[in-house]
Each structure stands twice: as structure tokens, then as C-alpha cells.
A and B are shown apart, each in its own frame.
Chain A
Amino acid sequence: GAVVSQHPSRVICKSGTSVKIECRSLDFQATTMFWYRQFPKQSLMLMATSNEGSKATYEQGVEKDKFLINHASLTLSTLTVTSAHPEDSSFYICSAKGGGASTQETQYFGPGTRLLVL
């Protein structure tokens, strides 16, 4: 149990285009989903927290107009990187909590999406 999927796993796009990443909890209902970014050899950086049916809470320094988050259902959250630029190239990982595992507070991670902006 507690499986989270992410799509796509890898995307290459041109500068100025928008990219949408989907995060799904496959076998549990996730009231809260998290979006992280990780640069090579660095720790996870939380970008935003999203609760189903409400607006996402963004961390300081993360532009909410650039990184659009929609959490329309208990099993799906999307992150759209608008007008992507090369500096947005990174590993984007979502996580979800609320699964029926050892603890309701455990975050389970999707496999990540590697974004390369040319």
C-alpha cells in the first residue's frame, strides 16, 4: 500500500514553454500532497503544500505564479511550471500523506520527474 505515481518521469522542453507534472496516490486518499525540488547533490527543498480543494501554501521564495499547483481531488495533484527557463531544470518530487500504513503522518514519495529546460 501507499503507492504514489508521478508522470512524466522525464521531460525535456524549450525555454518559455509550460510543463505539467501529475502526482497520484494510487491506493489511498491523500488529503495533503507536497511538492519538492532537488538539485544535484543537494537536499530536498519543499516548494509547496497542497490540501485537497484549497489553495496551495508556498514556501518562502517560491513564486506561486510560476509554479501553479492544483489539488482537485483526493488522489491527484498537479504542478505546472509556467514559462520554464533553464534554471528551472531540476528533479521535482511529489509526496502524499494520509495512507493506511504505519502512520497517517508518513509522507510517501512519487518516483520524481526530471525536468530539463533547453
Chain B
Amino acid sequence: EVQLVESGGGLVQPGGSLRLSCSASGFTFSSYAMHWVRQAPGKGLEYVSAISSNGGSTYYADSVKGRFTISRDNSKNTLYLQMSSLRAEDTAVYYCVKTKYSYGPGPFDYWGQGTLVTVSS
């Protein structure tokens, strides 16, 4: 059974940093690109970041470029999102997401339960 379990969320002051983790199991983690999607309270879904299966290629939404860093440790089946210079508008539930296919573009077939990041003084 595929499981994605996020951790690391919490309350942080504006300008602060936080590192999210996503522990994956139930599939060959090293074969799949992985993604982060966020959802501000009461709002829609925003695609934040992605990383290729070997970590060699990354993507960032303009809203987080230069402030967030995605990485992965395939030996630990874990995905990370290092967030710095946090702003109030980064407040959201952050979901770790798996693509349906191990190659090429595809929909997201598994989502974690999400971890809440609140940026406030």
C-alpha cells in the first residue's frame, strides 16, 4: 500500500525557515518524480515544486523560486522541502504527491494527508 506521510509543519514567524519531510513507502520511491502541492486555508490547489526521480532536475513555482529548495534522499525514501524567507502568503497545507507514472507526465495518484505551515508573528 502506497503511503506518503508529511511532517515538519508548524508555526513560524515571517522571515523564518522550516523543513518539511515526506516519508514514502509501498512503491519504488527512486523510480518516481515527486511533487509538493499546497493549499491555503479555504483556497484552491497550487503546484509548488517537483523533483525528478534521481534528483537531477527540479521545478519551482514563481511564487517560491529562490526561497524554497526541494530535495530527496532515495536511500531513505524521503522527500524534503526546505522553506526559507517565509511569508504570510506561504501559510497553507503542504501535500507530498506522487505521479501515477514512473516516466513521462501524468496525474497525481497518491497524496499525503498534508502538513500545515502557518506563517505569523
B and A form one assembly: no
Chain B contacts to A: CB under 8 angstroms: none
Q: Residues on A close to B: CB < 8 A?
A: none
